[in-house]
Amino acid sequence: MILLYHSITDDIAPPERWCLGQALPLRSFERQVRWLAATFPVVSLSEYLKEKRRGRGSMRKLATLTFDDGVASTFRRVYPFLEENQIPATFFISTGHLQGGRLLWFCYLNALCFEEGYEEISCDGRSFPLRTLAERIEARRDLEAQARISDDPNDFIRALESSHPLSFELREEYGGMSREQLRVAGNSDLVEIGSHTVTHPFLSRKSRADQAEEITESQRVLSELTGRRIRYFAYPAGDYDRETLDLLKEAGFEAAFATISRELGSDEFFELDRIGIYSTPLWKVKLKAWGAVDLARRFGLRVG
């Protein structure tokens, strides 16, 4: 099983940072991974794929950890734990928000709605109150929906950001990895770096040329910063089309990872499912690890 994490917060962080399920407190993450490591062999992604190519996937249960987006604060928190416990992991990184770059559009929305302290924000003639947690959650969901249906979520966010800027501290918390962190990752035997595009777009809405730019530019930058060949790719928001599959093969990737496979191509290694971990209770992780997600998907239910 390939597990998917996103952001990991400090244990003392306000619950607003993880109330929508895209982030977990560090203590919960460590507890989950300790249980996984005591229950299954936790292997690198390359070893997992090697076993799968050999047809041994059913012979023994393997677990491998992946993180999407490449948030600097997440790497800072989890890397010491991974190193101390000799647990391998793969980080799929969007290069557009690396140190000094713009925040990814959904990271900006999280910070804006839950942490900046605005009592109300305005967007496209609508007002969104942010005085209570319930109002913040509703505003966050409404703004995400608007961003998703726009031509480009990043353009939508840039317009909003011009009138609702974030503090330096929040940009540091939600921003992308630094070049020093990538150097550390590149020198680590435990960490694999994969591509997650440049700007985290919905790839299926992009032209072939724009998709190619998102894929190859991210691959190039990550290879230069880590000194390694970038072999693996994760689809932003799990979104891709047949052209994406062709472009990844042309760029020399060896495998690509979705959340739920769309089954668009003939090579399963470019549409590999992952199991998203979006909540803190250990019992939920246990259920997923023991096959609850596979069972639900077999019956047509879209479960992370």
Domains observed in the chain:
2-101+175-298 (3.20.20.370), 105-172 (no CATH)
pTM of the model: 0.93
Confidence band, pLDDT 50/70/90 cuts, at residue 150: confident
The lowest-confidence range among 15-29, 58-72, 148-162, 216-230 is 15-29
- Residue 81 corresponds to which tokens in the numbers above? 């734990």
pLDDT at 59: 45
- Residue 181 corresponds to which tokens in the numbers above? 């962190």
d(CA 277, CA 274): 10
Residue with tokens 């966050």: 140
- Residue 198 corresponds to which tokens in the numbers above? 């440049």
d(CA 254, CA 46): 10
Residue with tokens 């966010």: 157
- The per-residue pLDDT for range 39-64, each reduced to its tens digit, is 999 999 999 999 999 875 554 689 99
Question: Quick one: which of 27, 83, 70 has its CA closest to 199?
Answer: 70
Confidence band, pLDDT 50/70/90 cuts, at residue 297: low
Question: Quick one: which of 91, 25, 35 has its CA closest to 63?
Answer: 35
pLDDT at 100: 84
- The per-residue pLDDT for range 164-211, each reduced to its tens digit, is 999 999 999 999 999 999 999 999 999 999 999 999 999 999 999 999
State the amino acid at position 273 in one-letter form: D
The lowest-confidence range among 19-28, 57-66, 89-98, 221-230 is 57-66
CB 162 within 8 A of CB 45: no
- Hey, which residues does 3 pair with through a beta bridge? 65, 275
Question: Quick one: which of 30, 67, 33 has its CA closest to 194?
Answer: 67
- With vertex at residue 303, the alpha carbon angle to CA 157 and CA 134, rounded to the nearest 5 degrees, is 50
Confidence band, pLDDT 50/70/90 cuts, at residue 242: very high
